[in-house]
Copies of this chain bind each other. A is one copy, B any other.
Amino acid sequence: MSDLRSRSDNTSARAPLATHEIELRVRYPECDPMGFVHHAVYPVWLEMGRTEMLRASGGDYRALEESGVFLAVVRLELRYRRPARYDDLVRVRTSLLAAGPVKIEHAYEVLRGEELLVEAKTTLACLDREGRARPVPTGLALGADPVSAEHAAR
């Protein structure tokens, strides 16, 4: 992630607060006439990575929304290194970089085996039901708690 990190603020140079991996298989309609995963599919996979990192640390994004807390992507950056293909098994490695009072930063690597396909970074803002910025709830288990950090260290 050296490239995305170097052009970013200093938060991203720190070690991640937590890391989590998911594995998924590329679906047929996720691929385009070039035979590759279309570039607009990766943000969907990143979101799955965040959701599962939250679940792995005891959180539940659906319950969070039902309680009136929404996490909206306000910034997204992707670097496409190599294409994924139909039926590939890929992994999304999600890292929590920073969880500030109103924003949360993650970095991602999409891998096929040890091959880096895509690297990415997102910034989320915490919103209420009316779409206004609100503080990230204290106790929000975003992978920053010790249990998740341990999980990530496997």
- Also in contact, A39 and B43, with CB within 8 A (given A61-B87, A73-B80, A78-B76): yes
**Whole-angstrom distance between the alpha carbons of A36 and B85 in the complex?**
17
- Could you say how many copies of this chain the assembly holds? 4
Classify the interface of chain A: helix, strand, loop or mixed.
mixed
> Nearest Cβ in chain B — how far from A67, in angstroms?
14
Say whether A32 faces chain B, with CB atoms less than 8 Å apart.
yes
Which one of A27, A38, A51, A70 has the highest number of Cβ atoms from chain B below 10 Å of its Cβ? A38
Excluding A7-B7, A39-B73, A40-B41, 10 further A-B contacts by CB distance (< 8 Å) are A29-B32, A31-B33, A39-B43, A40-B40, A40-B43, A40-B44, A60-B87, A75-B77, A76-B77, A76-B80
Q: List 28 A-B contacts (CB under 8 A).
A: A28-B32, A29-B38, A29-B40, A29-B41, A29-B44, A29-B47, A31-B33, A32-B32, A32-B33, A33-B33, A33-B65, A33-B86, A36-B72, A39-B43, A39-B73, A39-B76, A40-B40, A40-B44, A51-B87, A60-B87, A62-B86, A62-B87, A72-B83, A74-B79, A75-B79, A75-B80, A76-B76, A77-B78
